Chains A and B, each alone.
Chain A
């Protein structure tokens, strides 16, 4: 043994340094959205898994270890990599959290209606929910919008008709320049707006669809109220 480090080891070291820089670059390329995020994240995890694999193989010298040990180590790397990718890439049900908010809004409107003396029911309507969702996404992504008008010039009635709902509709919109909005803040906003209060109290609105979405500094909640055609 002459004490010379096998070239392989030095190559692995260089590779680890490069891989670190690559993943750092990937990670700092922020503001990717949607599938871009998943791709970057998956790539990052895969590169990191490769790094760990090579640390085991060439630094820990597992390449010359009994196969059981090598296998155990590699299984660890594989399982962690797969689990990490799965947990990061599979879409989070952020909608689930918003569902709570959306359901809460419907519940509050029902309460306001009944406080105003309505004896009718209030039912969630999927078509109205879709119309609400369109407008929510529209307002979220187009900062110039702040009310009922869509970026294509559509009114709430236009959107409801497009969805297949032909009854009379009205809409209330909340935009919060923050990460989230609480149900209470939201209902207060609408309650103290005379036009919106009138809409919420209208006993003829027996159908409702609610949708909400948020980005880092903007939360949008849209409720579409409908009367059966």
Chain B
């Protein structure tokens, strides 16, 4: 592919010709811009990831509930081994962090950078609290002898919460990226997609935990 304005260098293979200096050409209109009513938070492609991720978790949760049917009593007993208050606390912590993220988006939108930074920092602290509580929970479960191979319930418990914890870690990293953008006082127009995308990802982390807490901690124990 040759851009007319690329500096041709006969000694280098074509793919290394300097294209850095080229002003980013406006992306070719891939399809006619459909007048969609509504604003997609972040961008459309991100939602493929988010919905895909949610579907994966949903599949694991559904299989979990299916497996529960062959042994509801054992599942109930195992669920009672979990420390429900920690699960509940973690739910509240993530819900709070989501709320802070919403407020941070609003603040960023309005150009109030110090406030946005404080809010994002607070959300990151919530994530740290979540991780700390989770570490304690894992430690307590394992030292009581419950490992991922202690039966179907605990297999699913560790896999679900483990995958979720990975999401929390990735989400926290993304929040820190956003924080860096805020420190540089990047304008909303330049950062809207990224900030909203990161916020949406974080809300997904929150809602996945609600699902896990509900089905693994509460419903199984009922």
Contacts and interface: CB of A to CB of B under 8 A. Distances in A.
Interface of A: 1-5, 9-10, 13, 16-17, 20-21, 23-24, 26-28, 30, 32, 37, 40-41, 44-45, 48, 51-52, 55-56, 58-62, 64-67, 69-70, 72-73, 76, 79-80, 83-84, 87-88, 92-94, 97, 179, 214-216
B110 A1 contact: yes
Contact of A80 (B62, B76, B103, B200): B62
B51 A73 contact: yes
B103 to A, nearest CB: 5
Most buried by A among B37, B91, B115: B91
Nearest to B36: A66
B93 to A, nearest CB: 10
Contact of B203 (A37, A45, A60, A76): A60
Interface in B113-138: 115
A30 B77 CA distance: 11
Contacts of B47: 69, 72
Interface in B185-212: 196, 199-200, 203-204, 206-207, 210-211
A61 B101 CA distance: 12
Given A60-B41, A179-B74, 11 more contacts: A1-B110, A3-B110, A20-B88, A24-B218, A45-B215, A48-B213, A48-B214, A48-B215, A51-B210, A66-B36, A84-B62
Nearest to A40: B222
Contact of A27 (B92, B96, B207, B217): B217
Interface stretch (B10-18, B53-61, B162-170): B53-61
